[in-house]
Structure 1
């Protein structure tokens, strides 16, 4: 795995509101937070760019709404902000893709000559997947750190339901099989970033 010197880590929506199990339901991948922290540390210590994305939900009952404590980053993310040797961007969004946020992610990446990104964060099959898909469509080389994401059980049409792990696997198959991103493990990325 060849990780560019300016490959950007995009940390999607690692916010306190996702801890509210009564709202979201059961989650998968209890190791995700440790893996996200490890990626941030590796990127910051190597001087690579890191993007911190926060979802500002317009829904009045969302644990991610502005003005509610759940809108804030989880403590381990907040304490790492501003600690890296490389460029850092903080952006907010109210939709699934980080490319539709403020300030403009695409413009920031272009200004830095970035052509390779790593996506991690919450939720696997929602904002993380949407950001990865859009990045792939925009021509970026995308690595999706599956074990540095998590999601929740979901309900769809006709009474269909899928567990969180099933949804994560579906994301991995869609992204990898569809050519949007290379789905990898965080340890592989951390090792490659240290070379």
Structure 2
């Protein structure tokens, strides 16, 4: 049987203190990530919290904001901090996954196209089977060169570049159905 782990990436209060606001997608994200975490708990899948830290600002440990989003109350087997976009390098997580004989990582959290997607790519390159649960990720619109990509655009783009290359794309329900 494949050993799985759920990575809850950057679901931290820091984001709402760097100019990001709740969006129309926030309530659905909160329901989805909560259902995924609870479903994993009921199946005995360990949960790891991953927090992004920086030297200054709302992502610094001194800010007091490198804490879970308030609606999340889950138990974790491990908490790691990262200073890069992916959760596996420089955080100690990859060594821990190897020690636990983990073969499959499930990814959820914030931001869909940044730390979540980057973690999926790196995990795949390291040989892990990856499940990306897009509806349990959250992001915010991005503007560049006068073009704004909506949350839907960013999710579609992330799924398009990950599917059949780096990760299986699943809904919460599909992901949980595939777990033992």
TM-score normalised by L of structure 1: 0.83
Tell me, in whole angstroms, the C-alpha distance in 2 between the residues paired with 1:164 and 1:143: 20
Uncovered stretches (5+) of structure 1, i.e. residues with no partner: 83-87
1:149 aligns with 2:145: no
Uncovered stretches (5+) of structure 2, i.e. residues with no partner: none
**Paired residue for 2:59?**
64
- Structure 1 segments (4+ residues) deviating >6 Å: none
Tell me, in whole angstroms, the C-alpha distance in 2 between the residues paired with 1:174 and 1:28: 24
Q: Assess if the C-alpha contact under 8 Å between 2:133 and 2:170 holds in 1.
A: yes
Q: Assess if the C-alpha contact under 8 Å between 1:12 and 1:53 holds in 2.
A: yes
- String of CA shifts for 1:152-186, please: whole Å, max 9, x gaps: 11123x33331222111100101115x10011101
* SS state at 1:23 partner: coil
Decide whether aligned partners of structure 1 residues 5 and 188 sit closer, same or farther in structure 2, where only a CA change above 3 A counts. same
1:74 aligns with 2:60: no
Q: 1:121 aligns with which of 98, 109, 120?
A: 109
**Paired residue for 1:175?**
162
Q: 2:10 aligns with which of 13, 17, 22?
A: 13
Q: How does 1:26-41 map to 2 (within 5 A)?
A: 27=23, 29-30=25-26, 31-41=28-38
Q: 1:91 aligns with which of 73, 80, 86?
A: 80
1:51 aligns with 2:40: no
Q: How does 1:127-146 map to 2 (within 5 A)?
A: 127-146=115-134
Aligned-residue offset at 1:69:
3.6
